[in-house]
Amino acid sequence: MTHRHWCDYPGHFWVCQGTAVRLFQPEPSVCVCIEHGVPMEEGDHSACSVELLSCPEHRADHMRAMGYEPDCTCEPQSGGESSIFKDSDGNPTVGFCLWCGCDFYTNEEHEAHTADIMAACPVFQELKDENCMPPVLQQMFEDAGLLDSEGNEKDGG
């Protein structure tokens, strides 16, 4: 069963067949539903959160924009924890909110933050009726030079 990812480098949806190569990983891995913790092929996850993941076409450019060669990989640290996601103090996280920047240390924290149309996210609640992208994502786009001087996406992605 196919599912969608959001290519966070230039910003577009792309269709996946069940496995994908994540940044800093040498081989594809099974796509897992963020909300249910099961492979995307198990059940209907069309209403679940979409994973931010560079598409195969833009993965190399995304790596270069972050200052890495496209074939750069990270070996898992002892205990199998990821060395990719860390908070500002160096503690491992499972992700963060693109609206408020809140770090998630467990999937349960992520679920609580995004439940009930992100009721626990004050920034989302403040901006949900505005026609804008999440502030953290906007800053990432600005840092990568993907927005023009007015905050609009540049053509060419």
Check whether residue 68 and residue 110 sit in a common domain: no
Task: Tell me the torsion sign for CA atoms 51, 61, 22, 57.
Answer: positive
Considering the domain architecture, whether residues 45 and 19 belong to the same structural domain is answered as yes
Kindly report the average pLDDT of the chain as a whole number: 83
Same domain, 91 and 65: no
pLDDT at 157: 44
In this predicted structure, the answer to whether residue 70 has a pLDDT above a threshold of 60 is yes
Burial class (CB in 10 A: 0-12, 13-18, 19+), 68: middle
Looking at residue 75, its pLDDT comes to 53
Residue 128, domain extent: 85-147
In this predicted model, what pLDDT tens digit does every residue of 117-144 receive, in sequence order?
A: 889 999 999 998 888 888 888 887 787 7
